Structure 1
Amino acid sequence: MLEVRRPAPPESGPAAATLGSIAARSAAARHRGSAVRTFASPAAARPRAPRRGPLPGPARVRQPPPLLPPRAFALAGRWIQTFHRCGLAAERDALGRELLDLPAAPPNFAVLGHLVRMQALGDLEAAAVHAGAADSLAARHDRPSVAVLTRWFAAMRAARDSAPDAADRYRAAAAALRDRGMPGVEHGLLDLALTCLAVQRGEPVPEPVEPGPYAPWIGALRGGPTELPDPPPDQLQEALWVLAGRAGLAAGTMRSSRGRPRHSPRPSTRSRAPGSGMITVGAVAETLRDLRARDCRRR
């Protein structure tokens, strides 16, 4: 019997450790200690020798750049709060669209908007457009961590397309993630990705090397203990609910303390579990259909 219990909320997760850090750097690293800070080039920042002689015309006072729009911070804050339950991908996509529509938004918030839409869109081809835009902005504004996230996205697309090198792409993406200062994302993610790939292909789940916080779901799919916690409320929760459903199908039952998981995915027409932009475990609707079919056979 597969039991589902709710754990205490995690102290950190992918949402706080990855995309949220991009917005945080805008507020802290770029603007700490000053109401206004210019995103200046090194040449503009170098001191210049005083001008000799009279000014050629009326002295022009350089005006400080406008403050960062409060709306940008508000949207980023709302985005980080949209993981408390499944089924909110459309709301996150709308927030990403608003971030991109902000006039004169700093590069960090434009990158955040593209990454939010990359994660939230169920259409991977449309999401790939935002991944490419995020990469272009990151290259122009020296944001190397963005390429790590989009590399995971490319590996996920390869997994969705059943590419023969999908596992190798995931391993390369995991290698690129090391030493990037995102331990809350890195820990266990490769084993989870390879587990999802095996489930999608209908293959045995490989033995994990470092499953980290995903050990309960990986273990249940390998025939281990079937008492599962509710997934933490972050970008991976919908994928973890799909894995819980698959483990429940294999074990023959899936129950929570009230008979059904209260926060499991709602019926969806999306082609994948949206949220992370890093892993895919197949269609949510397919797992829900199989669970309903099992329930009908029991009646």
Structure 2
Amino acid sequence: MGVEFGLLGPVEAWDSEGAPLPLGAPRNREVLGRLLIARNRVVPVGRLVADLWGDEPPAAAIGAVRTFVAALRRALEPGRPPRQPSRLLVTDGPGYVLRAGREAVDAWRFEDSATRAVAAPPHAAVALWDEALARWRGPVLADFPDAAWAAAEQARLEALRLDAVERRADALLATGAARDAVADLRAHVAAHPGREDGWVLLATALDRSGRRGEALESLRHARVALTDRPAGGHGPGPALARLEARILSGTSGSGAELAGVADGVWGRASAAWERSVPARSRARLHATAGLLRDLAVTGADGLEEAREHRRELVAAAETTGDDELAARIIGSYDVPALWTRADDPADAGELSRAAARAVARLGPGGPPTLRARLLSVVAVESRGDAAADAPLPRAADSPAAEPWRLRAERAAEEAVRIARSLADPAVLAFALNGAFMQSFATCGSAARRAAIGGELARLAAGHEIPGHEVLGRLIRLQACAGLGDLDAADAEAEEIDRLAHRNERPLAGVFTSWYQALRICETDGWAAARPRYEEVLGTTANCGMPGLTGGAGALVALIPVMRGEALPDPDDFARVDAGPYRPWLHPLLLAGAGATEQARQALAVVPRPPHDLLQEALWCVLARAAATVGHVPVLRRARDELAAAAGESAGAGSGLVSFGPVAQHIRAADRALEDRDRPGDRPGQR
């Protein structure tokens, strides 16, 4: 509509000629800023009241918000005829939404320019970074520096700006324009002395400008600045030492020279390794473990290769007879793990048992770091029922202790306890991954998982462990989706995609693409989401994670069934592979086919759903089948299990599918149980 908005500085709006629009009082600007950071999502009136006035709003707060909105509408659309609805600031359900395209908001245009710059060659990248940074007029939402509602967006965009400054300087160095980068980098590190990358870039630019002494002096300043950081800093990293060594040796090189170095280093280094390191040596075992850990995050092919060769490597380490060596090999694989069904359950179970054996051999007096890592392996690899050493209990039976689950839960708890005492962020990140995998003892654990994910993301961000920061945010995305907080989940998805792109974590996009389909389903319904689900099923079928994709088509096919009240048409599932979910889907399909007695027999022997991200969804499936055919034991058990998740959406905590509010399924179970208990029921069905 020709209106442009500004967040990168004071809140502003301009007409199609670039003239400022008269937004009026500060409260009007505050409402506009709050709606803009919602990014085309509805902000309920109650949320606006809470954000503007805090815990004690005045009695007339809602009326005041409506007044602010009316004033904004007049300012933003001065030519709109009376009584014609606004097309820009729209009333939608319980609140308001500002309909703005990405090209209309300076912050969003900044992000888009930055995205293009990252993928561009150096000369083009410099121009794009200049374009992106030119959009900044001052601090984000500068007229509301202390507003709690603005804090997260201010921090996020400021982090992107600092990254843009450093990436622009990096691009300048790559073009050979080192002198042009120096002045901006001096200002950058003066304002942000805790940015190690900034110091490295400044010293590099000075050195390449022929100012070697100044480069070395800047590195000395960097060490002081990084050592004096407030609590939470970790002093200078290895990058400073490596750069100083290159400068002193005179081998720091030009941007063009450095750009071509990596192409040949790998081949020469690997050839030297083959010549220098004896076959079957312990050094090869250690190096192979590190290689597999890095390989696992490169994409589908790397993940599959790493999974297959890891088993062989662990077996080789155990045959050496060196217990500590075997323990270190087993405990070194701290690859972030999100999906709670193992890709190869038998393999995962064996790895869990190998880690448990290593813990036992080391004994309680073994190195605590190694013990924490091994216990984390036990917790992570025991996800779901991978470590089960006995038949799974039946869903029709009363809950009972399962020894293999208790062992895994205790391993997770002890790993976290040891890691906290060590104050080692990498070990704690691994232990929190195990704690997440063992956080499914009961239904309704989304709030606990949100807390774990939040701690993991903060820990990893503060200590530059990008893989685990992505993991922590993915855990939060799932948990927020399960709790129905889609705005928070959206924010996590956006940050995950940014981090994954920057740190080359392509598999993270598998989960955010599934979440986008789930979100469409939650907000726009199954009909709108169906094409997106068909797309995501196709694009992620070969992502290297069969534990995630196996049977996913059946889960998607269940969405319209479980979000309604009907039974499935078995013909709709005739060509769908239910994969690992077949035991829990089978009774419902039998009920849908009218095979009541067969469905009851299947319910009598079906195992309880796995303790994983889909346990609420599968209990809902069993409850629907049991209510239909009158299998009261399974119906009561399902209802009892689901009670703790009454405030969640069934399955949405997986980030894949949602079967609607758990409370709705509980009410259906209650109605079925009441019907069964009325006089005149058939006695055999109680």
What is the TM-score normalised by the length of structure 1?
A: 0.73
Which stretch has the larger CA shift, 82-91 or 198-207? 198-207
Q: Contact 1:68/1:105 (CA < 8 Å) preserved in 2?
A: no
Query: Which moves more between the two structures, 215-224 or 164-173?
Result: 215-224
Q: CA deviation at 1:163?
A: 4.2
For residues 263 and 179 of structure 1, the distance between their equivalents in structure 2, rounded to whole angstroms, comes to: 37
Structure ranking higher in helix proportion: 2
Structure 2 counterpart of 1:17: none
Q: Which residue of 2 aligns with 1:264?
A: 641
Relative contact order: is structure 1 or structure 2 higher (C-alpha 8 Å, sep ≥ 6)? 1
Q: Which residue of 1 aligns with 2:445?
A: 88
Distance in 1 (CA, whole Å) between partners of 2:665 and 2:625 is 11
Show CA shifts across 1:262-281 (max 9, x none): 97222412244443110111
- Give the Cα–Cα distance (whole angstroms) in 2 for the partners of residues 139 and 263 of structure 1: 43
* Distance across 2 between alignment mates of 1:138 and 1:259: 43
User: How far apart, in 2, do the equivalents of 1:263 and 1:77 lie?
Assistant: 27
Query: Which region of structure 1 is more displaced relative to structure 2, 265-274 or 211-220?
Result: 265-274
Please give the alpha-carbon distance, in whole angstroms, between the structure 1 residues aligned to 2:674 and 2:442. Answer: 26
Indicate the larger mover: 216-225 or 104-113: 216-225
2:552 to 174, 178, 189: 189
Pick closer, same or farther for the CA change 1:86–1:259 going to 2, 3 Å: closer
Q: Does 1:126 align with 2:488?
A: yes
Residue of structure 2 equivalent to 1:149? 511
> Contact 2:639/2:669 (CA < 8 Å) preserved in 1?
no
- For residue 241 of structure 1, what is the amino acid of its counterpart? W
d(CA) in 2 for partners of 1:97, 1:210: 35
Structure 2 match to 1:242: 620
Structure 1: where are the runs of 5+ without partners?
1-39, 45-50
Alignment match, 1:294:
672
Q: Distance in 2 between matches of 1:80 and 1:263?
A: 23
CA contact (8 A) 1:99 1:110 kept: yes
Once the two structures are superposed, what CA deviation does each residue of 1:227-248 show, in whole Å capped at 9, x if it has no partner? 2321111111111111111112
- What amino acid is the match of 1:190? G
Matched-pair contact (CA < 8 Å) for 1:158–1:166: yes
Write the deviation string for residues 92-119 of structure 1: whole angstroms up to 9, x where unpaired.
Answer: 1101111122223411111111110111
* Letter matched to residue 211 of structure 1: A
Q: Which amino acid aligns with 2:588?
A: L
Tell me which residue corresponds to 1:31.
none
Aligned residues: 249
Superposed CA deviations along residues 3-61 of structure 1, whole A, max 9, x for unmatched, are xxxxxxxxxxxxxxxxxxxxxxxxxxxxxxxxxxxxx9xxx9xxxxxx9xxx7458979
**Letter aligned with residue 642 of structure 2:** P
In 2, the alpha carbon distance for the partners of 1:116 and 1:259 equals 30
What TM-score comes out, normalization by structure 2 length? 0.33
**Alpha carbons of structure 1 residues 105 and 292: separation in structure 2 relative to 1, 3 Å:** farther
User: How far apart, in 2, do the equivalents of 1:261 and 1:283 lie?
Assistant: 15
Secondary structure of 1:280's aligned partner: coil
> What RMSD, in angstroms, separates the aligned Cα atoms of the two structures?
3.1
1:154-206 deviations in Å (ceiling 9; x for gaps)? 11122223142322221211112122110111111111121123221445532
Contact 1:245 1:254 in 2 (8 A): no
> Structure 2 CA distance, aligned partners of 1:284 and 1:192?
16
8 Å CA contact 2:617, 2:659 repeated in 1: yes
**Aligned-pair CA distance for 1:125:** 2.8
Alignment correspondent of 1:207: 573
Counterpart in the other structure of 1:23:
none
Distance apart, 1:283 and its partner CA: 0.8
Q: Judging changes above 3 Å, is the alpha-carbon distance between structure 1 residues 160 and 88 closer, same or farther for their aligned structure 2 residues?
A: same
Distance 1:279 1:111, change over 3 A: same
Task: For 2:658, give the aligned amino acid.
Answer: T
- In the other structure, the counterpart of 2:258 is none
Contact 2:454 2:476 in 1 (8 A): yes
Match of 2:539 among 164, 176, 190: 176
Please tell me whether the aligned partners of residues 444 and 648 of structure 2 are also in contact (alpha carbons under 8 angstroms).
no
Unaligned 5+ runs, structure 2: 1-196, 202-207, 224-235, 240-423, 592-598, 679-686
Aligned mate of 2:238, from 60, 64, 75:
64
Aligned partner letter, 1:196: I
| Deviation (angstroms), 1:259 | 6.5
Distance 1:217 1:156 in 2: 21
Taking the aligned partners of 2:556 and 2:527, their CA distance within structure 1 comes to 15
Distance 1:202 1:274 in 2: 18
Structure possessing the higher radius of gyration over alpha carbons: 2
Residue 288 of structure 1, CA deviation: 0.7
Residue among 427, 434, 438 paired with 1:77: 434
Instruction: Label 1:93 to 1:84 Cα distance change in 2 as closer, same or farther (>3 A).
Output: same
Task: Give the 3 Å change call, closer, same or farther, for CA 191–149 of structure 1 in structure 2.
Answer: same
Supply the distance in 2 between the matched residues of 1:219 and 1:167 (Cα, whole angstroms): 23
* Cα distance between partner residues in 2 of 1:288 and 1:262: 6
* Amino acid aligned to 2:630: G
Moved more, 221-230 or 184-193: 221-230
Structure 1 distance, partners of 2:649, 2:550, is 26
> Is residue 86–residue 237 contact of structure 1 (8 Å, CA) maintained in 2?
yes
Q: Which residue of structure 1 aligns with residue 607 of structure 2?
A: 229
Identity %: 34
Q: Which residue of 2 aligns with 1:159?
A: 521
Q: Is the 8 A contact 2:632 2:673 kept in 1?
A: no
